[in-house]
Amino acid sequence: AEVRMEVEPCEVGAIVQKAVQAQENHAELKKQSLEVQIATDLPPVVGNPVRLGQVVSNLLSNAIKYTPTGGHISVSVTAQDGEQIVLAVRDDGIGISQDDLPHIFDKFYRADRPETADIVGSGLGLSIVKTIVEKHQGRTWVESQLGKGTTFTIVLPVSYTHLRAHETSLHL
């Protein structure tokens, strides 16, 4: 399906705060600590605030789901050389096996593990995250160790001229 995506200058810090507020209750129910660090004076990125919010919400929701009760989740947003925004979502949850890592962004992929059997999901979230990030000319990757936790990192360019200022198409 093709989704038209209006783009505009976006404040990633505000988008992250909104997503965190929407997920805070889920973390509290599991007695997880949720730490948020947003650098001041972040330059805006050209993008779609709703879609970027969807990316942050998805990563946060996963971190909460796959982190046991009492775990710790942190979200940080920093600027790099004034040219990129770096967003990282870290957790000390169950982690992702080395076998599963290469497939984690594939459509419908779900790790087949006893610890995740009762966690509901379509296996679409991370493939959508990757698609949205790439439509914003960004990159995303994951680092993880079983039993130690996972970090998803997203790097978004601050400005790019080849994207028309008003809309682009998003194929999901």
Kindly compute the dihedral angle of the four CA atoms of residues 163, 165, 169, 170, in this order, to the nearest 10 degrees: 80
Mean pLDDT across 161-166: 46
Name the 3-class secondary structure at 130.
helix
CB–CB of 54/125 below 8 Å?
Answer: no
Mean pLDDT across 102-126: 68
Mean pLDDT across 91-100: 89
Q: What percent of the chain has pLDDT over 90?
A: 55
pLDDT at 22 over 70: yes
> What pLDDT is recorded for position 166?
45
> What pLDDT is recorded for position 162?
43
Convert the pLDDT of each residue in 26-60 to its tens digit.
Answer: 999 999 999 999 998 899 998 999 999 999 999 99
pLDDT at 91 over 60: yes
Handedness of CA 55, 163, 108, 140 (dihedral sign): negative
